[in-house]
Amino acid sequence: MLTYDHIAENKIKTAILIAAFLLLIIALGFTFSQAYDAPGIVFFAVAFSTIMSLVSYYFSDSITLALSRAIPVKRQDNEELYRVIENLAIAGGLPTPKIYVIDDTALNAFATGRDPQHASIVFTTGILDKLTRQELEGVAAHELSHVGNYDIRLMTMVVVLVGIVTLLADWFLRISFWGGGRRSRDSNNAQGIFLLIGFVLALLSPLIATIIQLSVSRKREFLADATGALLTRYPAGLAQALEKISGDREPLEAANKATAHLYIANPFHAKQKTSVSWFANLFNTHPPIEERIRRLREMNIG
């Protein structure tokens, strides 16, 4: 398959998942407003989630860098790394991001920043020491692709949607528990049906929202692989890097669950099985690394 086809396919799948999110929120909002005759709850949930996510959007990069114990790299400290990043940024039509290093022998990297003008790319010392130049270019191109594809912005929007779903579900269950009994006795048959549907949705929707969020994250990893391969014109470089990363069973000490989705590969290698069932994969932030390598090997840069 041509690399352009991979990119188009992943963009379409992402759009479908976002549409599914919006449909879930519409279904929740309509059901809850009908059950309790209170449409204002939907608007409050949207406003609250948006405000919280805006705060995260503007400050998440500095928080993430601090949590990861990332140290800024000066040009004189690693001239070759700067040349790699600058050349790829020029090829991608992007400003050169800030470069950071985590002092850890594990093999990993991630990008953060709300847009290309405020982007940072972080590498572990392990990945800088153990990859060849072509492999490092593949990793750097992958991370620059996250920046160029505005994945941080997209995932912030997804977090907003997850927050809305979770708030609506939580409020519905609380209202049902504290005041739903009297309401249900006073309600007509239609409201009773909506109450039942709403209760089921309130229980299942946070799980569904989480699955969709993680699915979007996996699709963006595939997209960054394809876009990065197009940037370097050498998919094998990233494939070889991922093979080395998958063989590294050392967990990244500075990683945590809040930032795990940012990394090029799951940073908890030591705790992760090499193969998982399709159901377990629903709850992974990253697609199977073997599948990513296979797709890269099959790519045709046309």
Rounded Cα–Cα distance for residues 142 and 13 (Å): 19
Structure tokens at 69: 């114990």
Average pLDDT over residues 85-91: 96
Task: Find which of 27-36, 220-229, 250-259, 269-278 is predicted with most confidence, using mean pLDDT.
Answer: 220-229
Residue 192: helix, strand or coil by DSSP?
helix
Output 94-98 pairs: Cβ under 8 A, ≥24 positions apart: 94/119, 94/144, 94/147, 94/148, 95/119, 97/121, 97/144, 97/147, 98/72
Average pLDDT over residues 122-135: 97
Does 186 score more than 60 pLDDT?
A: no
Residue 292: helix, strand or coil by DSSP?
helix
Q: Give every CB contact of residue 111 below 8 A, 6+ residues apart in sequence.
A: 97, 119, 120, 121, 122, 143, 144, 146, 147, 152, 262
Q: What length does the chain have?
A: 302
Does 48 score more than 80 pLDDT?
A: no
Strand residue runs (E) in the chain: 71-72, 98-102, 109-112, 120-124
**Which of the following is catalytic: 79, 80, 137, 143?**
143
142 is annotated as contributing to ligand binding: yes
Print the SS3 string covering 1-14. Answer: CEHHHHHHHHHHHH
Single pTM value for the model = 0.83
Rounded Cα–Cα distance for residues 272 and 250 (Å): 11
286 is annotated as contributing to ligand binding: no
Residue 160: helix, strand or coil by DSSP?
helix
Annotation marks residue 143 as catalytic: yes
Q: Using one digit for the tens of pLDDT, what is the confidence trace for 246-277? A: 998 888 988 888 788 899 998 986 445 555 67
221 is annotated as contributing to ligand binding: yes
Structure tokens at 208: 């569904």
Percent of the chain clearing pLDDT 70 (strictly above): 89
Using DSSP bridges, classify how beta strands 98-102 and 120-124 pair: parallel, antiparallel or unpaired.
parallel
Q: Are 108 and 265 in contact (CB under 8 A)?
A: yes
Count CA atoms closer than 13 A to 204's CA, side-chain side.
9
Average pLDDT over residues 116-139: 96
